[in-house]
Amino acid sequence: MDAQSYSAVLADLRTVRDQIKKIRAALTKQEADRDKLIIQLASYPKAKAERIAPAAGLGVADVAALAPALAPDSLAVNDALQPAAEPSTIQATPEAVPSPPQQAAAVPAMTVAAARPALPKAPVEPAAPQAPTAPQAPRDLPSIPAGASGDAWLAPTPGLASARPNFTQQARSTVFLDTATGVLVHRQQTHHLDLGNRTAADILIAVFHTIPEGVERIYITAGDPWLRDADRHPYLRDAVAAWLSAPIPGWRTDTGRGRDRMAGHFVHARNPVGRYQRENGDNHVEIRSVGEWFDADGDHPTVIRDAFVLLWQALRRHWSDAVIMGSPSQTGRDLWTRTIPTRGQHAEGFPVLSEELRGLLHATAGQGRNELIYPPRVTEQLPQLVEYDRTFAYAKHTWKSPVGTPRRITARTFAAWSQKEQMRALYGCGHFQVRVTVPDTWDHVGLLPAPAPGDRAWHYPATPGTTFTTWAGGPEIHTALTNPIQPWKIEILDGILWDDGKPLDDWAKKLKETWTNLSAQAHFQGDAQQARAAHLASRAVRSVLLYGIGAFAQRPRMVTGTTPRALERDVPPDAEIISFDDELITWQKPTGFSRDPNAHPEWAAAIWSGARAALLTQRHRDDNTHAGALHTPPGTVIAFRTDALYLTEPQNWPYHHQPGDYLLRGHLTGPLPAPTGEEELLTLRNAGRAALTTSQES
Q: Per-residue confidence at 261, pLDDT binned at 50, 70, 90?
A: low
The per-residue pLDDT for range 34-57, each reduced to its tens digit, is: 887 888 787 777 777 767 866 777
Q: Per-residue confidence at 30, pLDDT binned at 50, 70, 90?
A: confident
Strands (E), 83-160: 110-112
The closest of 344, 376, 288, 402 to 635, measured between CA atoms, is 376
Q: Per-residue confidence at 258, pLDDT binned at 50, 70, 90?
A: low
Instruction: Report the sign of the C-alpha dihedral through residues 61, 66, 67, 73, in that order.
Output: positive
pLDDT score of 453 more than 90:
no
How much is the pLDDT for 455? 61
Spatial distance between the Cα atoms of 152 and 122, rounded to a whole number of angstroms: 22
Mean pLDDT to the nearest integer, 407-423: 92
How much is the pLDDT for 40? 78
pLDDT score of 418 more than 70:
yes
The closest of 179, 295, 133, 274 to 686, measured between CA atoms, is 295
Mean pLDDT to the nearest integer, 314-320: 95
The per-residue pLDDT for range 85-129, each reduced to its tens digit, is: 332 222 222 233 233 333 333 344 444 443 333 323 333 333 444
Mean pLDDT to the nearest integer, 5-12: 70
**Residue 359 or residue 584, greater confidence:** 359
Mean pLDDT to the nearest integer, 31-35: 80
How much is the pLDDT for 558? 67
How much is the pLDDT for 168? 83
How much is the pLDDT for 18? 67
**Residue 73 or residue 81, greater confidence:** 73
Mean pLDDT to the nearest integer, 470-476: 94
**Residue 426 or residue 29, greater confidence:** 426
Mean pLDDT to the nearest integer, 545-565: 81
pLDDT score of 553 more than 70:
yes
| Residue 388 neighbours by CB under 8 Å, 6+ apart | 644, 645, 646, 647, 651, 653, 662, 663, 664, 665
How much is the pLDDT for 569? 75
pLDDT score of 634 more than 60:
yes
Q: Per-residue confidence at 61, pLDDT binned at 50, 70, 90?
A: low
Mean pLDDT to the nearest integer, 243-255: 88
The per-residue pLDDT for range 121-178, each reduced to its tens digit, is: 333 333 444 444 445 566 789 999 988 899 899 999 998 999 888 888 888 999 999 9
pLDDT score of 77 more than 90:
no
How much is the pLDDT for 565? 75
**Contact (Cβ atoms closer than 8 angstroms) between residue 327 and residue 290:** no
Instruction: Report the sign of the C-alpha dihedral through residues 683, 685, 688, 689, in that order.
Output: negative
Instruction: Give the single-character DSSP code of 108.
Output: T
Longest dimension (CA), the chain: 115
How much is the pLDDT for 499? 93
How much is the pLDDT for 19? 76
The per-residue pLDDT for range 300-313, each reduced to its tens digit, is: 999 999 999 999 99
**Residue 60 or residue 34, greater confidence:** 34
Mean pLDDT to the nearest integer, 186-206: 94
How much is the pLDDT for 136? 59
Question: What are the two backbone dihedrals, phi and then psi, of residue 31, each rounded to the nearest 5 degrees?
Answer: -65, -40
The closest of 499, 556, 501, 551 to 360, measured between CA atoms, is 556
The closest of 156, 158, 89 to 407, measured between CA atoms, is 156
Bridge-based pairing state of the strands 584-592 and 637-642: unpaired
How much is the pLDDT for 92? 26
% of the chain beyond a pLDDT of 90: 55
Residue-averaged pLDDT of the chain: 83
Bridge-based pairing state of the strands 644-647 and 381-390: antiparallel
**Of 256-265, 387-396, 585-594, 678-687, minimum mean pLDDT range:** 256-265
Spatial distance between the Cα atoms of 667 and 125, rounded to a whole number of angstroms: 29
Spatial distance between the Cα atoms of 192 and 199, rounded to a whole number of angstroms: 17
| Residue 377 neighbours by CB under 8 Å, 6+ apart | 462, 635
**Contact (Cβ atoms closer than 8 angstroms) between residue 587 and residue 562:** yes
In one-letter notation, the amino acid at residue 584 is L
Q: Per-residue confidence at 10, pLDDT binned at 50, 70, 90?
A: low
How much is the pLDDT for 452? 85
